[in-house]
Structure 1
Amino acid sequence: MPTGIVNEMELLSKNINELLEQKKLFDIKRLVNDLHPADVAELMTFFDRDNQVVLFRLLQKDMAIAVFEQLDFERQENLLNSFTDDKVSEILNYMSPDDLTELLDELPAKVVKKLLYLLNPDQRNMASLLLGYRENSAGRIMNPGYIDLKENYTIAQALERIRKLSPPEDMIYTAYVTDIQRHLIGIITLRDLILSTPEKKVTEIMDTDVVFVSTDDDQELVARNIQKYDLLSLPVVDHEHRLVGVVTVDDAIDIIEEEATEDIHRLAAIQTTEDEYLHSTVMQKVRNRILWLVALLLGGMVTSFIIQNQSALIQTVVSLSFFIPALINTGGNVGSQSTSIMVRGIALNEVDSRNIFKIALKESLVGSILGGLLGLVGFFRVLLLRESSMIGIIVGISIWVVVFVSNLIGIIIPLFLKKMKFDPALSATPVITTIVDMIGVFLYFQIARIFIGF
């Protein structure tokens, strides 16, 4: 958030705190209800749990629902625990179905069962339907509320239908034309409807080239399509091509943020979690990291074992040990760079099976050039330390080989994971570094043996 906005929120929170101390609740009510719901949600982060409840109770009904949808899960849960069943029922029944499903996803099963009983029949059936779809699928995140128009409608009838439905602002810009079996056959923008004559048929102006997803498609594909085609909303169809919901651009932004965070965690070899940093406990953080760290420690011990097996060679040429850290650090850095580039390329759909050979050739050339340049730096560095030129040649060639191999490993592992239907981000930077360490040390001593004749 920009610094100016943060400072403004801090000043506003101080002002409200003073009003709370003076029990001037009417002034607070007038102040917070004039703000945007997103600003109120942000403002509530400056207050403790009790005062968050007080602030929320001062909101008008429509504002309260909009603010509740903007809050993070922990604050939503705190408010639900503080309200009566009637108040909870009022909030949940006016939430959009996709936001309600997201909330129910986070709660324990017993709490979900209780909350479902507080919903009206329509909202309960809708929530049960969405919860029945696979997690992280288009069906799970879609909103079943959308503007549907029959193919025999005139423009006048279509506009009247939109007025009757009174959709929220994020869904009013696109209408979907369906046949009598609810099959999606076209889309119309609000602009086209307004600019067309009332007696025209919707089929005359609709666009039949519709981009859509299936209920089983992954949410990442949904967000990617919305981004690729610059859509405000994306229709979701079932296996029989019947329109069942839409995903809006604000949901796509949330998905992109969630997936990016997940990839960053995986690249750092951290188990992904939906808990925010400040809201997760110490033990949660330990659990998220310990398994990977233990695995990497065991991998590091393999490197130590390789070095131990070369103790006779090291005792003969002690100076070889001086350059092990520089060698494995260089290999790890190169491997991490190529892995990060490859994972990002895969995420942006710039890398696929059609251009693997081209990528492998290009990265081989890149690795050769980088290895040669860094090898020369290593060679002259050894000479500056007044070691023999033979040691310099060993170090220089070893760096060239390790950089070349590390670069290839950095692109091969993400591609292999993608081929095996795993997330390429699992090829985490620490994992690549550990693998490269083992291979780099092994190659270094093999090259040394060749030149020394040991």
Structure 2
Amino acid sequence: MFYFSQLQGKKIVSEKGHSMGVLRDLIFLAAEGAPIVTKLVVKKYSKIRMYAIADVVSINHFVVVKHEPQLVELAEDELFVDQNLLNKQIIDVLGSKIVRVNDVAIQNNANTYYIAGVDIGLRGIFRWLGMEPLLAPFYMFFGVAHKPHLLPWESIQPLELSQGQVKLKNKQDKLNAIRPEELADYLERTTIKNVHSIIDSLSKKTAAQVIGNLHISYQQALLRRFTPERAAEILELVQTDEAVDIMSTMNRQQKEDILKLLSAQKRKHIEELLRLSHTSIGKLIYPHVLTASYDDTVGTAIEKVKKSVIGTSFAHYVYICNEHEELIGVITLYDLFMHEPRTPLYEIMEPDVVVIYPKTSKEMVIQKMLRYKMYALPVVTEHHKIIGVVTFDDVTKDILEKL
């Protein structure tokens, strides 16, 4: 077995000793099982030629080929080791993590060359630098085994091969074990076709978490590819404000087809935010807020907070409502936990709540936040019912992005 780092740049000579150029790349066929190396990519002066691997006589100090090797062209399903695999990120389906290919192992079996696996360890990097021998004393000093970190081909899932075409393996439970934000970060570096294939292979819960961590452009492109049923399944599990962002670019018919498949509560929240999205701050409203009744005790409110805070990324204030669901007060989480459990909320809440409305300008929102030193402000209707909150981070980010 040898490595691609040991091959690239080697001189190519014919059986009669004529110089044919230097090896620039290997071409392989991404078929079932171990990928077969099919061609050499050779550069001589400024010209690039491809020769069939069958014309290779031997590989030692030089790559020796037949006297008149056959010139060939790239087939539709073939890929390059250097261009399509080396230095790319892959999914280690056994270790359930994303790793980087530092080198590629080539095996020769009865004059058939194939990719045996990839080196994801430090030795792969040092091998390219010609410094691999320097690692031996280091490993010996620390008593660490001096072996390459080699992943066999069957243990990896390449995702960026062949212009967005992905052939998944039957180990998708391992994909579900990868952290959603890490998988989303990786998927944003590949094509939407790849993303769609991977998302389709995940569980509903994991798919929703991954989509929630994707850039909005990927979210929107994905949902437009899904059937209404599949889209509804995903949107049911993502945050309401994220669902609104995704649906805001859909046409009317697409929205209606998906909305009618959602639960009544989810549909109500999304429809309300979609209606508000045309207002000044509508797209900045975060609907998941902590609320409590004015006659609740501190202990009761704390229990509500514990149940509600799961899945809520914003939790600084608890908003107090009366029996008509009108906003009448606010209390910080810090103040809530500093009082005795039996204390009624109406005794400790701040009744003078600084509020904003869907039509309030972004500039006015920032002015109010700075004046009253509030990180977030509640958004209410004309009947003083709370819709959600707008945070300082979101409104300033929105303004800066448009400068």
Choose from 226, 229, 239 the match for 1:96.
239
Aligned counterpart, 1:262: 402
Distance (Å, rounded) in 2 between the aligned partners of 1:194 and 1:167: 18
Asked whether the 8 Å contact 2:376–2:389 carries over to 1, the reply is: yes
Change beyond 3 A, Cα 1:18–1:126: closer
Change beyond 3 A, Cα 1:81–1:98: closer
Report how far residue 10 of structure 1 moved. 5.1
Asked whether the 8 Å contact 1:154–1:202 carries over to 2, the reply is: yes
Matched to 1:262, the amino acid is K
Change beyond 3 A, Cα 1:36–1:90: closer
Of 45-54 and 218-227, more deviation after overlay is shown by 218-227
Change beyond 3 A, Cα 1:26–1:229: farther
Distance (Å, rounded) in 2 between the aligned partners of 1:79 and 1:147: 31
Aligned counterpart, 2:179: 35
Choose from 55, 68, 74 the match for 2:198.
55
Report how far residue 194 of structure 1 moved. 2.5
Choose from 358, 370, 385 the match for 1:215.
358
Report how far residue 200 of structure 1 moved. 0.9
SS in 1 for 2:360: coil
Distance (Å, rounded) in 2 between the aligned partners of 1:134 and 1:224: 21
Q: Deviations over 1:366-406 (max 9, x none)?
A: xxxxxxxxxxxxxxxxxxxxxxxxxxxxxxxxxxxxxxxxx
Q: Deviations over 1:381-439 (max 9, x none)?
A: xxxxxxxxxxxxxxxxxxxxxxxxxxxxxxxxxxxxxxxxxxxxxxxxxxxxxxxxxxx
Matched, 1:109 2:244: no
Report how far residue 218 of structure 1 moved. 2.6
Matched, 1:159 2:274: no
Distance (Å, rounded) in 1 between the aligned partners of 2:284 and 2:368: 15
Choose from 70, 75, 85 the match for 2:228.
85
Change beyond 3 A, Cα 1:19–1:72: closer
Change beyond 3 A, Cα 1:36–1:68: closer
Report how far residue 91 of structure 1 moved. 0.7
Matched, 1:125 2:125: no
Change beyond 3 A, Cα 1:96–1:180: same
Choose from 248, 253, 265 the match for 2:393.
253
1:170-189 superposed matches below 5 A: 170-189=313-332
Asked whether the 8 Å contact 2:284–2:395 carries over to 1, the reply is: no
- The two structures have a TM-score, normalised by structure 1, of 0.48
Change beyond 3 A, Cα 1:26–1:202: farther
Matched, 1:141 2:281: no
Report how far residue 235 of structure 1 moved. 0.9
Report how far residue 77 of structure 1 moved. 3.2
SS in 1 for 2:324: coil
Matched, 1:65 2:205: no
Matched, 1:18 2:185: no
Aligned counterpart, 1:198: 341
Report how far residue 13 of structure 1 moved. 6.7
- The two structures have a TM-score, normalised by structure 2, of 0.53
Q: Which has the higher strand share?
A: 2
Of 17-26 and 76-85, more deviation after overlay is shown by 17-26
Report how far residue 254 of structure 1 moved. 4.5
Distance (Å, rounded) in 2 between the aligned partners of 1:216 and 1:183: 19
Q: Which has the higher contact order (CA 8 A, sep 6+)?
A: 1
Matched to 2:178, the amino acid is D
Asked whether the 8 Å contact 1:19–1:27 carries over to 2, the reply is: no
Distance (Å, rounded) in 2 between the aligned partners of 1:161 and 1:254: 26
Q: Which has the higher helix share?
A: 1
Matched to 1:77, the amino acid is Q
Change beyond 3 A, Cα 1:80–1:164: same
Report how far residue 255 of structure 1 moved. 4.1
Change beyond 3 A, Cα 1:98–1:223: farther
Q: Deviations over 1:261-280 (max 9, x none)?
A: 322xxxxxxxxxxxxxxxxx
Change beyond 3 A, Cα 1:211–1:151: same
Distance (Å, rounded) in 1 between the aligned partners of 2:342 and 2:402: 51
Change beyond 3 A, Cα 1:224–1:51: farther
How much identity, in percent, do the aligned residues show?
A: 24
Distance (Å, rounded) in 1 between the aligned partners of 2:364 and 2:336: 29
Give the alignment's Cα RMSD to 1 decimal: 3.4
Distance (Å, rounded) in 2 between the aligned partners of 1:230 and 1:214: 18
Report how far residue 199 of structure 1 moved. 0.8
Distance (Å, rounded) in 1 between the aligned partners of 2:286 and 2:202: 25
Distance (Å, rounded) in 2 between the aligned partners of 1:233 and 1:32: 35
Aligned counterpart, 1:342: none
Of 9-18 and 202-211, more deviation after overlay is shown by 9-18
Asked whether the 8 Å contact 2:298–2:345 carries over to 1, the reply is: yes
Asked whether the 8 Å contact 2:216–2:245 carries over to 1, the reply is: no
